[in-house]
Amino acid sequence: MIKASVPLLLAMLLLTSCATPKSPWAALPRFNEQDQANLVVRYYSDDTSYVLKPQQTDGPFLTILSKDAVLDVAKQQPGRQLAVVILIHYGACEIETVEQSWKNLLTGAGYQRVVFLRASSGMRVNGLPVLASGG
């Protein structure tokens, strides 16, 4: 009897494991405003960020910029309705500090709305989970 119930238990476990979200970000709303964004930054640290829009390159490669250099690019943009900051590897405690810092800098530079996204592999923007959004 026990041998007969093992396959049933394994099947039930597989069915329920497929129904649960694979990450804590799965339930978050998804971003779909890449075309409207005036600035898109992929932030790794204060010393390493990439500006995806307007794209900052050094030859065929994205230029590595410090936070101050990113802010200089942000201030040069004629439109300042929407700034997007993609966060790479921050835990829940760090996210709030990083978000607040970027929000203060970008709203201080005149951006009306700042959206924070959780990064995935690759450089895509649309479809990423929205961590926070506001002005």
The ranges assigned to domains in the chain are 24-134
% of the chain exceeding 70 in pLDDT: 81
In this prediction, residues 32-54 reach a mean pLDDT of 97
**CA 52 to centroid of chain Cα atoms:** 12
**What is residue 91's predicted lDDT score, i.e. its pLDDT?**
75
Residues whose CB is less than 8 angstroms from the CB of residue 35 and which lie 6 or more positions away in sequence, other chains included:
none
Give the span between the Cα atoms of 1 and 58, in whole angstroms.
68
Give the chain as a DSSP string.
-HHHHHHHHHHHHHHHHHHS-SSTTTTS-B---GGG-SEEEEEEETTEEEEEETB-EETTEEPPB-HHHHHHHHHH-S--SEEEEEE-S--HHHHHHHHHHHHHHHHHTT-SEEEEEE--SSS--TTPBEEEEE-
**What is residue 93's predicted lDDT score, i.e. its pLDDT?**
77
Structure tokens at 110: 């005149």
In this prediction, residues 26-49 reach a mean pLDDT of 95
* pLDDT tens, residue by residue, 46-90: 999 999 999 999 999 999 999 999 999 999 999 999 999 999 877
**What is residue 12's predicted lDDT score, i.e. its pLDDT?**
52
